[in-house]
Amino acid sequence: MNVHLVGAGPGDPSLLTVRAAALIASADVIIVDRLVDHRVRALARADALVIDVGKHPRDGGPTTTQETINALLIEHGRRADCVVRLKGGDPFVFGRGGEELLALRAAGIDVEVVPGVSSAFAVPALAGVPVTHRGLSTSVTVISGHDVGDGSDFELAGRSRATIVILMGVEHRADIAAALKRGGRSPATPVLAIEWGSTERERRVKTTLGELGATLLHAPAVMVVGEVAGLDL
């Protein structure tokens, strides 16, 4: 097994799994995403080849296509003894980890998957918000904020009583709030947004569904919608 698809957690290196930390420290090649914290990158060997494949689709910076990333993984997977593909949070939560695994397998390369601590649950938890809580919420839905059109998952989630955790939703937050309200959620529903959770840049903003569209927020952020977002444990 020489390619390892590794979750880097939300930022703080103490939230890496033991397996992830060991692999990062021993890898010959690390192919790393933009959101992976500098303190995690610093755990790499001084002589490791670190390739940044960050995608910057909205801020105008350099973008590496998924095809290029897959090709790099295959190229290095054939040559190096230990290749770590390092992705923020968990590689299988909105991380395109499944696509990379399939591309590597199709090329005949074995892959180990090392799950990571996902921002979807860890970032709210660090802010004192349990995504489920007895008496307030018995289910949780995690949704990507990219697709907010008619009939999107937001309207469905709006009809439920689940806590809603939104990733990649800052840009479309006004449309997301509108869809959740169309589904039946009250404008008074508490919302907590956490930017850059577990990093030096962490910022927490409490608002409501009615105010979300007008609330100043910056990506990356996790937004939690539901009664639990009003807790501060």
Please, are residues 192 and 168 in contact by the beta-carbon 8 Å criterion?
A: no
Residues 4-63 that bind ligand SAM (CB under 6 A): 10-11, 35
For ligand SAM, the binding residue among 13, 77, 95, 190 (CB under 6 A) is 95
Residue 223 is among the residues annotated as catalytic for this protein? no
Q: Does 107 bind ligand SAM (CB under 6 A)?
A: no
From the list 19, 25, 55, 27, the residue with the least C-alpha distance to 40 is 25
* Spatial distance between the Cα atoms of 158 and 141, rounded to a whole number of angstroms: 10
User: 58 or 78: whose CB is closer to ligand SAM?
Assistant: 58
C-alpha 224/C-alpha 51 separation (Å) is 33
Q: Catalytic one among 28, 153, 168, 206?
A: 168
Give catalytic status of residue 47 as yes or no.
no
> DSSP 3-state helix, strand, coil percentages of the chain (rounded to 5)?
30, 25, 45
Rounded alpha-carbon distances, angstroms, from residue 213 to 21, 146, 208: 39, 15, 9
Least spacing, CB of residue 121 vs ligand SAM, in Å: 9
- The count of chain residues that interact with ligand SAM, using the rule CB under 6 A, is 26
Residue closer to ligand SAM by CB (options 156, 168) is 168
Q: Is 55 a catalytic residue?
A: yes
User: Which residue has tokens 């790099």?
Assistant: 72
128-157: contacts with ligand SAM (CB under 6 A): none
Q: What angle do CA 116, 117, 120 make, to 5 degrees?
A: 125
Show contacts with ligand SAM in window 157-186 (CB under 6 A).
167-168
- Binding span for ligand SAM by CB under 6 A among 21-29, 59-67, 151-159, 215-223: 215-223
- Active site amino acids: 33, 55, 168
